[in-house]
Amino acid sequence: MMQAVGFQRCAATEFFDCFAGTTKENTARKYGVRGANFIAYKQ
């Protein structure tokens, strides 16, 4: 999606278990929902 508008060198750099300990923890695990860090550049 980022590349489609022109961004380059797009990458996910790290993932976070941000729903651990919440009421949605089981749902998040079932569907693989996580937080993630991203970077992308405009040339």
Partner 1 sequence: MEQFCEITLDRERLKSEIRSTYSLVAETPTGDFHFHRGPEYAARQLGYDGEELSMLPGASTASFAGVGNPFRVREMPSGAFVIDLGSGAGMDCLLAGRRVGRQGRVLGVDMTDAMLDLARTSAGKADMPQVEFAFGEITDLPIDDASVDLAISNGVINLAVDKPAVFKELYRVLKPGGWIQFADIVIDQELSEKARNDIDLWVG
For 21, what's the count of Cα atoms within 13 Å in the CB-facing half-sphere?
A: 3
User: Can you tell me the distance from the alpha carbon of 12 to that of 39, in angstroms, rounded to the nearest whole number?
Assistant: 7
CB of 36 to partner 1, least distance (A): 5
Spell out, one character per residue from 5 to 24, where the chain touches partner 1: x when CB under 8 A holds, - when not. xxx----xxxxxxxxxxxxx
If one asks whether residue 26 binds partner 1 (CB under 8 A), the answer comes out as: no
Asked if residue 4 lies in contact with residue 28, where contact means CB atoms within 8 angstroms, the answer is: no
If one asks whether residue 41 binds partner 1 (CB under 8 A), the answer comes out as: yes
Q: Which residues bind to partner 1, rule: CB under 8 A?
A: 1-2, 4-7, 12-24, 31-43
